[in-house]
Amino acid sequence: MILYRKASFRIAEVWFDEKANGVQADIVRRLQHPTPVAEGKCTPFHTILMDLNHDPDLLLARMKRETRYEIRRAADKDHLTYTMSIAADSDCLDQFLSFYGEIIAQKGFPKLNNVRLQKLIQADALSLSLVQGETGIPLVWHAYYRTKERVRLLHSASLGRNSDVAQRSLIGRANRYHHWQDVLSFKAQGTRVYDFGGWYDGDSDPRRLSINKFKEGFGGQVVLNYNSLQGLTKLGKAAVWLYLRMRPSG
């Protein structure tokens, strides 16, 4: 659990099956609870999980052929450099945020909650990893929420893909290689579940369907979790009510 402020609200963020008993906050934000919760507004959330309780050779064998090929080609021919900070510090976070800031300008990504990420560092729950190209240029960053049993991808940011076909292909291989190296790093730490951070359950958004296809290539299993917001104080209950009223449907 982490506690942080957003505007004038004290927010408790609780992941997976963690308890929030006795928390001092205006709002409890439960993320990816395995079952629906009675308190507050609950919404379904699909994601893809990989079971890391297997030998790496078996994990590779369960991937789709294209994904295995891209990982092996990246490892053998692309001269990539991989770096993992299991317990990320503020300096590492600054590097990630600098890169992400450049991506915002290029792709229109949403801004990050820097306070929330700093709180994850203080809770020893943020991992950051980087893949660089042959010349040392950062290609892909990944940010994770980490517990003892499970890691969940929070953010993935890759270098902008220009019109050069070779560059686009390199970024795609680097990202697959990056996920695989992350899997190996977390597995070595005793992590049991690798969470890709979401799976689109619709059929009308081509971009999201393409992301689904990318994630499905790693051979994980689609599961259903639940997110919820619960107001604990008068201020929190009013804020949750207003948020739910203003949020677009669908």
- Mean pLDDT per 10-residue interval, the chain, length 250 residues: 90 92 92 88 95 97 98 97 98 96 77 90 97 95 97 93 80 97 98 98 96 97 96 93 73
52 and 159 assigned to the same domain: yes
26 and 131 assigned to the same domain: no
Give the pLDDT score at 162. Answer: 61
Give the pLDDT score at 222. Answer: 98
| CA distance linking residue 15 with residue 18, whole number of Å | 6
The enclosing H or E element of 128 equals: strand 126-132
195 and 102 assigned to the same domain: yes
| Helix orientation angle between 65-77 and 165-188, rounded to the nearest 10 degrees | 90
Give the pLDDT score at 163. Answer: 57
31 and 58 assigned to the same domain: no
235 and 160 assigned to the same domain: no
pTM, to two decimals: 0.92
165 and 54 assigned to the same domain: yes
104 and 14 assigned to the same domain: no
CATH number for 92: 3.40.630.30
Give the pLDDT score at 164. Answer: 82
Give the pLDDT score at 113. Answer: 84
The structural domain count of the chain equals 2
131 and 34 assigned to the same domain: no
38 and 54 assigned to the same domain: no
CA 234 to the chain's CA centroid: 32
Handedness of CA 128, 131, 132, 138 (dihedral sign): negative
Instruction: Look up the domain containing 66 and give its range.
Output: 47-224
Residue 63 is classified by DSSP as S
Residue 136 is classified by DSSP as S
63 and 177 assigned to the same domain: yes
Handedness of CA 129, 144, 114, 168 (dihedral sign): positive
233 and 220 assigned to the same domain: no
35 and 144 assigned to the same domain: no
SS3 107: helix
Residue 217 is classified by DSSP as T
